[in-house]
Amino acid sequence: MKSIMITICLMLAFAGTTRADGVLNGPTSGADYTVEACAGTNASDKCYCTQTRATATWSGVCPAGYYCPYQNATQISCNKGDNASNAAAGFYCPANTQTPVYCCEGFKCPNSTSIEKCSSGNFCKVGSINEKACPWSASCPEGTSNPSNMGPLVFMVLIVALAWFIHFKVSNSVAVDNKAHAHQLEMEETSAKQAARTGAVEDTVDRTGEFNETFDFKFKQLGLTLPNGITIMKGVNGTIRHGKVTAIMGPSGAGKTTFLSLLSGKVPNTKGKIFIRSTLDGEFVHEPDGVYKFRKLVGFVPQEDVMLREMRVIDNIKFSGAFRLPSDMSNEQIDDRTDEVIKTLGLGGVAVTPIGDETTRGVSGGQRKRVNIGMELVANPRILFLDEPTSGLDSTSSQEVMSALGRIAKEEGMTIMAVIHQPRLEIYNEIDDLLLLGKGGQTVYIGPREEAADYFASLGFVCEDAATNPIDFFMDVISGDIARAGYPDFAREDLFDLWEDHAKEVANAKPLGEPITKNEQWFTGKPQPIGSGSASTSLNLNDRSNVGSGSGLSTEVAMAAQDGVAAEAELGAGDSQVEA
């Protein structure tokens, strides 16, 4: 470090010394080193040479093209092994040089005795013998060592600018196309709604023929007991029909979500049996694993909205479809199915809007819920379970969701079951069938929505106020807040026994051959085809394949109503059921 500092100081001290061309100022006696600008250069060129040192017996003179080591008169060729007249190898040795130096940057040294500044338009690196032409894209003034080559940088800037421009134009074009597509979907939705309101077209279109399978459910004595012995569902019987929206309702603790989990196979039942009838089979078949066998045809919409909030509405639905639809479907078919779902759910106006989150503006809560439903519908399920699809939504959004579900069930023949809390009257009227559960997970009513009021009236629960929402009245009855007329000792738990008695009465008291009403098909096990009149099917108790699987009754008890044989079997005995 010390030698470097000394060299720098000497270089600065003698930078301005003048000399004759090709010869240093001469030997200097008594100085260890004398550093000056090399002959043929200026101080500003920073090209320095080391001068020889004279001794008492030597004058310090050393000819150009040679160098003489420190206090040594020995002359050594600047290009080792050559003499000064030979071609140079990049070294420069002016007269009285103690150490050879490489030709300085910005200069060329054709031989070891001459040095020339690099001309404009060329460049010379350290040790150059000849000039090199400056690249076409670089700038090379006189004395250039490293050309300033801006060409690649300018080229890269142009490439980036061009790429950005293309991206901008393409993105803008795609955005315009997306907005136009979304507007078209919205206009189609609006047109369909206006036509339906004015009666120009039917409210729904029967599309059940487009699908290969529809499913009906039948469950008998369905129950769930936890490992600690607590029973949270007990003895639920009934039928779920395709082409209908079945709402599962009841007060808190009634086991609504539990029932949905049992039927969807998320939780195995500990009691009872589940029967499923596919249109391909034509008969109810006992399925110990519930819908597991048909899991690829089942959709489940959880209470919480699960989706990528950064993606747009159409992207979330399309991604779900591309992931779950058959692999042989083309992109065009997936796009068509996505558009169909978006129109069905009324999402055309926000199709290209990001979902959004707490910090980013996006779609509304009702629209987000419909997107969640759409992510299941796009996979073409035949069975759809929904856990509280209207929770957290305002009444208008809730009605839009339920209206969309009703259209889907009717148009596609889908089996839809949903847990719903306290719907307003307009939403209640969108429901086809009801399953009302009481505390402890037992059945209070299951059947068509429009017949529920008559059933409760037959028990002595009559709603005097015509403006009251029927479901609010039913919830008050189930909670024990309304007294039963003529029965001062009535308790809400009695509703379970009353329903079982009603089911038994309907199943056993019907004369042979008399038409089945809308409600009675729930107990006889003789299903009524969707879309047929109430008198299209007759009860035939001699047909054992249709007895004992819909009302919670054993086969022997159901047959006793027709044959007059005393029934000794217990109600709900699983071993006596006929697994159709």
Q: Give the whole-angstrom CA distance, residue 458 versus residue 414.
A: 32
Q: Which long-range contacts (CB under 8 A, 24 or more apart) does 565-574 make?
A: 571/500, 571/504, 572/220, 572/221, 572/235, 572/237, 572/272, 574/220, 574/221, 574/272, 574/273
The residue type at 207: R
CA dihedral 178, 179, 183, 184 (to 10 degrees): -30
For residue 236, tell me if it sits in a domain.
yes
Angle at 413 between CA 410 and CA 419, to 5 degrees: 75
CATH number at 257 reads 3.40.50.300
Quick check: 423 and 471 in contact, CB under 8 A? yes
Helices 313-324 and 331-344 meet at what angle, rounded to 10? 130
For residue 141, tell me if it sits in a domain.
yes
pLDDT along the chain (580 residues), means of 10: 46 40 46 74 87 82 87 80 56 88 90 90 90 85 84 84 88 74 68 55 46 84 89 88 93 88 85 87 83 88 87 92 90 90 86 88 88 91 90 82 88 91 86 92 92 92 86 91 87 90 74 44 42 34 36 34 32 34
457 lies in the same domain as 542: no
474 lies in the same domain as 500: no
For residue 161, tell me if it sits in a domain.
no
Helices 365-377 and 313-324 meet at what angle, rounded to 10? 20
For residue 325, tell me if it sits in a domain.
no
Q: Give the whole-angstrom CA distance, residue 389 versus residue 367.
A: 11
Could you give the 3-state DSSP secondary structure of residue 536?
coil
pTM for the full predicted model: 0.59
442 lies in the same domain as 504: no
For residue 334, tell me if it sits in a domain.
no
97 lies in the same domain as 228: no
449 lies in the same domain as 565: no
428 lies in the same domain as 507: no
131 lies in the same domain as 225: no
- Measured CA distances, 461 to 137, 249, 484, 492, 496 (Å): 96, 18, 6, 12, 15
Longest dimension (CA), the chain: 151
Q: Considering its fold, how many domains does the chain have in total?
A: 3
- Measured CA distances, 160 to 136, 149, 236, 521, 538 (Å): 22, 18, 68, 71, 78
For residue 196, tell me if it sits in a domain.
no
In the listed set 148, 163, 194, which residue is the last one of a domain according to the structure? 148
Could you give the 3-state DSSP secondary structure of residue 576?
helix
Q: Give the whole-angstrom CA distance, residue 210 versus residue 271.
A: 36
Q: Domain range holding 521?
A: 494-572
421 lies in the same domain as 501: no
CA dihedral 154, 155, 161, 165 (to 10 degrees): 150
Quick check: 56 and 46 in contact, CB under 8 A? no
243 lies in the same domain as 215: yes
134 lies in the same domain as 247: no
379 phi, psi to nearest 5 deg: -85, 5
- Measured CA distances, 394 to 168, 375, 422, 444 (Å): 39, 22, 12, 28
Residues 6+ apart with CB under 8 A from 445: 434, 435, 436, 452, 455, 456, 474, 499
In the listed set 127, 148, 169, which residue is the last one of a domain according to the structure? 148
For residue 316, tell me if it sits in a domain.
no
Quick check: 368 and 357 in contact, CB under 8 A? no
47 lies in the same domain as 132: yes
Q: Give the whole-angstrom CA distance, residue 51 versus residue 60.
A: 9
473 lies in the same domain as 498: no
Residues 6+ apart with CB under 8 A from 509: 561
Could you give the 3-state DSSP secondary structure of residue 73?
coil
Q: How far is CA 230 from the centre of its chain?
A: 39
